[in-house]
Amino acid sequence: MKVLIHCVGNNDYGDYTSGDAQTIEVENLEACFSLPEDKLLVIDDNKKTIYDDCVLLGMEEMK
């Protein structure tokens, strides 16, 4: 499934209220997990990618 994953990174003040928002485009999402220590695990076509300092906001399917 092709999706956009929306997440936000930590800002200079140590919180996520106005951090750096980013969108990750994934061609064939198999799974997405929030991990401890504000990490995000994305599994795409059996390839695992960990994004550091990233809090999941949401996902949307692309058609």
pLDDT in tens, the chain (63 residues): 899 998 887 666 655 555 677 889 999 999 999 999 889 999 999 899 998 888 898 999 998
Which pLDDT score is estimated for 19? 60
Q: 42: how many CB neighbours lie within 10 A of its CB?
A: 21
CA distances from 62 to 2, 27, 44 (A): 5, 9, 15
User: Bridge-partner residues for 43, per DSSP?
Assistant: 31, 48
Tell me the whole-structure pTM to 2 decimals.
0.78
**CA–CA separation, 38 and 54 (whole Å):** 5
**CA–CA separation, 8 and 38 (whole Å):** 10
Q: Quick one: residue 38, left, alpha or beta (phi over 0 = left, psi -120 to 50 = alpha)?
A: left
